[in-house]
């Protein structure tokens, strides 16, 4: 009998397995893949400030650094966020995290698909018929989580399509806001990988949407790889049942506005590990994860509302917003650190209209929350 069975060895699962092993628990980490991280399903960007959550130093899996995130409106007006961003080689990053979990003492079961779990008995059923038992189960098996489905949950998912193409050296990541592209308004991105001489160019949606974006914005480069995946839109209705908890994409913890899920994967892994530790030591009657997680991820709801509020605007209205913030540079990740932006936005005549009231309200709630997440 294991103390904890972790299903899925992506960034969330490997971080949870490692953290719990380091606490002294007997942990098994199961993944359906023989080699984790492949095929790549990521634009590979991570704010440097988020990196410590993984408790490892930047290593050979870094493929470049960028200085800015530029948000581009349909008429090419734009604002920039300053903040160091690390570009990863995502497959190597996932394999590095898995290596850390293994070195911390977790047992690895690779190439074995989990068919389902029983959240009350702690049984994990593998495709081959074998059953693993544990006192607690961590579902870290990505957006279409089997563990989630075993406890009656399904994430709301949006498809994402991406190509990696040749790209010149660049210190900026680009995010395009365009109502005319499906799954807009925040729809498309370009993430340059300077050491590789390429960029990940992608969108919320399918390949025809990506082709429309590439042609509309005249993006040029030679495609070297095609990939894609699914991104959860908003937190799962529940994050735990019995002895089972959901972390990372399995719990829908990805930022629903940007699609960024690496930081939330590590953060939720740590919060879950802490809650499981207290449960296994007998300090709590059950695993007290859900409320702690929802408190920590208070901004998820705001991101979803921001997405919906922007979706209610036409491209003309988005351009008016673009004009209000054009040329501004935010000093960092947190909007609360940018009073000038709020001030400029409030004073701009194009903004002082009832239609934008929900956006302004959201902006203030962001400021009050004091965090991006």
Considering only residues 318 to 347 of the shown chain, the ones binding ligand FAD according to CB under 6 A are: none
* DSSP string covering 161-220: EEEEEE----SEEEEEE-TTSTT-SEEEEEEEETTTTEEEEEEES-HHHHHHHHHHTT--
Encoded one letter per residue, x for contact with ligand FAD by CB under 6 A and - for no contact, window 38-77 reads: ---xxxxxx-------------------------------
C-alpha 328/C-alpha 99 separation (Å) is 42
Among 5, 29, 138, 160, binds ligand FAD (CB under 6 A): 160
Considering only residues 264 to 323 of the shown chain, the ones binding ligand FAD according to CB under 6 A are: 265
Residue 276 Cβ vs ligand FAD, minimum distance, rounded to whole Å: 17
Q: How many residues does the chain have?
A: 373
Q: Which is nearer to ligand FAD, 30 or 321 (CB)?
A: 30
C-alpha 262/C-alpha 254 separation (Å) is 8
Q: Does 122 contact ligand FAD by CB under 6 A?
A: no
Q: Which is nearer to ligand FAD, 146 or 320 (CB)?
A: 146
Task: State the pairing for strand pair 244-246/186-193.
Answer: unpaired
Among 74, 91, 185, 261, binds ligand FAD (CB under 6 A): 261
Residue 347 Cβ vs ligand FAD, minimum distance, rounded to whole Å: 33
List own/partner pairs for 207-215 with CB under 8 A and 24 or more apart. 207/161, 209/161, 209/181, 209/182, 209/183, 210/161, 210/162, 210/163, 212/181, 213/176, 213/178, 213/181, 213/187, 213/188
Q: Which is nearer to ligand FAD, 11 or 184 (CB)?
A: 11
Residue nearest to ligand FAD (CB): 261
Among 4, 5, 12, 299, binds ligand FAD (CB under 6 A): 12
Among 139, 148, 248, 256, binds ligand FAD (CB under 6 A): 248
Task: State the pairing for strand pair 131-139/123-126.
Answer: antiparallel
Q: Are 296 and 225 in contact (CB under 8 A)?
A: no
Residue 264 Cβ vs ligand FAD, minimum distance, rounded to whole Å: 7
Residue 194 Cβ vs ligand FAD, minimum distance, rounded to whole Å: 15
Encoded one letter per residue, x for contact with ligand FAD by CB under 6 A and - for no contact, window 183-222 reads: -------------------x--------------------
Q: Are 318 and 73 in contact (CB under 8 A)?
A: yes
Helix (H) or strand (E) holding 85: strand 78-88
Among 122, 259, 322, 345, binds ligand FAD (CB under 6 A): 259
Q: Are 36 and 94 in contact (CB under 8 A)?
A: yes
Q: What are phi and psi of 201, to 5 degrees?
A: -115, 115
Burial class (CB in 10 A: 0-12, 13-18, 19+), 275: buried
Binding site for ligand FAD (CB under 6 A): 7-13, 30-33, 36, 41-46, 113-114, 140-142, 146, 160, 162, 202, 228-229, 231, 248-250, 254, 259-262, 265
């Amino acid at each position: 009998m294991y103390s904890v069975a972790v299903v899925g060895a992506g960034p969330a699962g490997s971080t949870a397995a490692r953290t719990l092993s380091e606490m002294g628990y007997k942990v098994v980490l199961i993944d359906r893949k023989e080699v984790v991280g492949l095929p790549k399903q990521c634009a590979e960007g991570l704010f440097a400030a988020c990196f410590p959550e993984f408790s490892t130093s930047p290593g050979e899996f870094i493929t470049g650094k960028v200085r800015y995130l530029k948000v581009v409106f349909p008429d090419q007006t734009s604002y920039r966020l300053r903040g160091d961003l690390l570009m990863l080689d995502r497959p190597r990053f996932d394999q590095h995290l898995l290596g850390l979990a293994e070195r911390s003492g977790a047992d690895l079961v690779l190439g074995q698909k989990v068919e389902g779990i029983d959240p009350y008995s702690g049984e994990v059923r593998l495709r081959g018929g074998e059953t693993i038992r544990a006192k607690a189960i961590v579902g870290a098996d990505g957006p279409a989580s089997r563990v989630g489905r075993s406890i009656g949950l399904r994430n709301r998912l949006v498809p994402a399509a991406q190509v990696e193409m040749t790209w010149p050296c660049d210190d900026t990541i680009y995010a395009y806001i365009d109502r005319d592209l499906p799954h807009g308004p925040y729809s498309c991105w370009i993430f340059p990988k300077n050491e590789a001489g390429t960029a990940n160019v992608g969108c919320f949606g399918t390949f025809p949407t990506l082709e429309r974006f590439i042609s509309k914005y005249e993006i040029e480069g030679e495609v070297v790889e095609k990939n894609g995946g699914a991104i959860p839109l908003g937190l799962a209705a529940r994050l735990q049942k019995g002895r089972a908890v959901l972390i990372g994409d399995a719990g829908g913890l990805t930022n629903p506005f940007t699609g960024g899920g690496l930081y939330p994967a590590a953060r939720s892994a740590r919060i879950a590990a802490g809650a499981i530790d207290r449960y296994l030591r007998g300090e709590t009657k059950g695993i007290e994860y859900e409320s702690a997680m929802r408190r920590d991820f208070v901004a998820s709801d705001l991101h979803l509302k921001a997405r919906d509020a922007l979706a209610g605007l036409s491209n003309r209205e988005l351009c008016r917003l673009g004009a209000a913030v054009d040329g501004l540079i935010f000093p960092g990740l947190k909007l609360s650190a940018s009073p000038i932006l709020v001030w400029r936005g409030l004073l701009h005549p194009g903004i002082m209209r009832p239609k934008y009231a929900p956006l302004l309200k959201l902006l203030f709630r962001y400021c009050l929350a004091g965090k991006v997440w």
